């Protein structure tokens, strides 16, 4: 928990006191989208950031860089939505896809790290039954159940 808090503080330091970074600031010399991406990824995944990077580094280092630089440095770090909101949206999207269980579990953990409650996570997954079908929602709920069990998290009813 302390490590996650320190990583969150690192992200705040990179984004500035207010958590915003304008497009003009992002294009200034010295803007390091990789560092910003790693800070966001570390905040969301905790210890999983390095594992993801290393799992791709030996076979597709460019893909790892794209995920960090573009995905997290340019998109996830944008100030218009909180990490809380972004992680709920990501959990919804991965649930709807129905074919990304490892990523869904990682982002359910990320949603918890970003301050989402277990009930919010369950609700966003359940909503996907309407848009993606019951099999996708059931698989999403089972992924959440597994993550919650690993973390000793209980869902309030």
| Number of domains within the chain | 2
CB 83 within 8 A of CB 114: yes
Q: Which of 43, 76, 109 is the last residue of a domain?
A: 76
Quickly list DSSP for 39-98.
HHHHHHHTTHHHHHHHHHHTT-HHHHHHIIIIIIIIIIT-TTS-HHHHHHHHHHHHHHH-
Query: Which residue ranges in the chain fall short of pLDDT 50?
Result: 1-23, 27
Phi, psi of 148 (to 5 degrees): -60, -40
pLDDT at residue 17, rounded to an integer: 30
Q: Which of 18, 51, 76 is the last residue of a domain?
A: 76
Q: Quick one: which of 47, 151, 50, 67 has its CA closest to 108?
A: 151
Domain that holds residue 17: 2-76
Q: Are residues 11 and 29 in the same domain?
A: yes
DSSP state of 117: -
Q: Are residues 9 and 67 in the same domain?
A: yes
Q: Which residues contact 64 (CB under 8 A, 6 or more apart)?
A: 52, 53, 56, 57
Q: Are residues 93 and 134 in the same domain?
A: yes
CB 14 within 8 A of CB 39: yes
What tens digit of pLDDT does each residue of 52-93 get?
Answer: 788 888 899 899 999 999 999 999 999 999 999 999 999 999
Q: What pTM does this model have?
A: 0.79
Q: Which of 42, 61, 76 is the last residue of a domain?
A: 76
CB 91 within 8 A of CB 121: yes
Residue 114 burial (CB count, 10 A): 20
């Amino acid at each position: 928990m302390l490590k996650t808090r320190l990583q969150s503080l690192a992200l705040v330091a990179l984004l500035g006191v207010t958590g915003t970074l304008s497009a003009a600031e992002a294009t200034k010399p010295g803007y390091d989208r990789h560092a910003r991406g790693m800070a966001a990824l570390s905040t969301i995944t905790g210890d999983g950031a390095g594992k993801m990077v290393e799992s791709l580094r030996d076979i597709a280092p460019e893909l790892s860089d794209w995920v960090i630089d573009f995905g997290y440095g340019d998109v996830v770090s944008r100030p218009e939505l909180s990490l809380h909101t972004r992680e709920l949206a990501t959990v919804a999207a991965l649930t709807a896809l129905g074919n990304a269980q490892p990523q869904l579990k990682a982002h359910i953990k990320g949603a918890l790290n970003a301050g989402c409650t277990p009930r919010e996570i369950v609700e966003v997954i359940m909503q996907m039954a309407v848009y993606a079908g019951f099999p996708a929602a059931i698989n999403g709920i089972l992924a959440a159940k597994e993550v919650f069990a690993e973390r000793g998290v209980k869902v309030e009813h």
